[in-house]
Structure 1
Amino acid sequence: MPIEKLATLTVGGGCFWCLEAIFQQIDGVEKVVAGYCGGTCPGHPTYREVCSGKTGHAEVVQVTYDPRGATYADLLKIFMSSHNPTLTKIEKFNYGSQYRSLIFYHDEQQKVTGETILRTLQPHFKETIGTELRPIEPFYAAEEYHQNYYDKNRKAPFCEAIIDPKLSKLRKIYPKAWKQSHILSEKNTKTLVSLK
């Protein structure tokens, strides 16, 4: 029996620490790298350059996954549920252009699936979805201290105030999507009980 080829998803929507924490816990995901994509600058952009807004890059995650464990469409649905994809251009740039909502497709099938997901989800939002759907551009891994941020800093205020509630919300929406090891490692047993 041939081994299924691993696939790649590249998306951005808010802080890459949040997206990394979410995708690392999804069943079928093999690897998640926080990084930058969608801008221009000579050489490898730094976090400081990206945050300045001058390079045009967004904070993204590049996810390597096994399509037998997670489909591209399912990963996109989880992604779209993890952030607000309806911010206006002015709001995006006030908040920081590096946090804009983006789907970078790696092939024509991903493009078609992305178009379908955006069209299907639009009726569930009061405002117009502003997520950009673009062909993949050069991806640059973020600095080492950004990698595995949630796993290394679970007690940090940002993790407890922002990432933990996102994870709890998504676990309730998609209860079957999570790796069993992550569910069992949760400190809050009430959350576990509520998912059954």
Structure 2
Amino acid sequence: MKTFVLGGGCFWCLDAVYQMTKGVHSVVSGYTGGRIANPSYDAICSGTTGHAEVVSVTFDEAVIPEDVILDMFFIQHDPTTLNRQGYDTGTQYRSSMFYSNVDEEAAFRAAIVRNQPLWADPIVTEVAPLGVIYEAEYYHQDFYAQRPEVGYCQVIINPKIAKVRKHYARWLTA
């Protein structure tokens, strides 16, 4: 098993896609990359903590290659916008990849190079060492599966799922 910690805007979006990906064993929404311990969602939203909303994606490389996990990351959000994804703005929504060793850092940097041709503007995804991950509040976990009827899910997440499905259908369970 391998775990990647990725931030691509609101963690609900990444969670929704990776929850339906073959070989993914768990997805946990959380916060990392900031300056304070045990931040709350309200503190994160204030923009003063420095944390990014992230997901920890644990997957089985025998089922799904790490390159597919990373390429799915780059297709489901806009890695060329600094500190925003659509209407969500602030440093907590930055495109980010947090590595725990040199092999992960190399894989993340290679994924950026590999995916740059898909975007007209430069990819601005932060690649940084992984610090402490603080698990988000219970109501953020598996948000899309629990509340697919919510407006944000309908308007923001569903189009991202459709985009991933278009390119990676063989890797999705649903």
Report the equivalent of 2:160: 166
Letter in 2 for 1:14: G
Structure 1 segments, 4+ long, off by >4 Å, are none
Normalising by structure 2, report the TM-score. Answer: 0.94
Alignment partner for residue 29 of structure 2, among 34, 37, 53? Answer: 34
Report the equivalent of 1:18: 13
Report the equivalent of 2:3: 8
In 2, the alpha carbon distance for the partners of 1:8 and 1:44 equals 21
Q: Could you tell me how far 1:123 is from its partner in structure 2?
A: 2.1
Q: Could you tell me how far 1:66 is from its partner in structure 2?
A: 0.8
Equivalent residues of 2:75, 2:163 under 8 A apart:
no
In 2, the alpha carbon distance for the partners of 1:27 and 1:65 equals 8
In 2, the alpha carbon distance for the partners of 1:148 and 1:25 equals 11
Matched residues, number: 172
SS at 1:175 equivalent:
helix
Q: Does 1:76 align with 2:70?
A: yes
Letter in 2 for 1:40: R
Report the equivalent of 1:108: 102
**Structure number with bigger Rg:** 1
In 2, the alpha carbon distance for the partners of 1:25 and 1:34 equals 15
In 1, the alpha carbon distance for the partners of 2:22 and 2:47 equals 34
Deviations 1:23-63 (A, max 9, x none): 1111000000000010011x300000111111100000001
In 2, the alpha carbon distance for the partners of 1:31 and 1:106 equals 18
Deviations 1:120-152 (A, max 9, x none): 211221111000111111100000011111111
Percent identity between matched residues is 40
Equivalent residues of 1:72, 1:110 under 8 A apart:
no
Equivalent residues of 1:8, 1:106 under 8 A apart:
no
Equivalent residues of 2:34, 2:51 under 8 A apart:
yes
In 2, the alpha carbon distance for the partners of 1:88 and 1:176 equals 31
Which has the bigger relative contact order, CA under 8 A and spacing at least 6?
A: 2
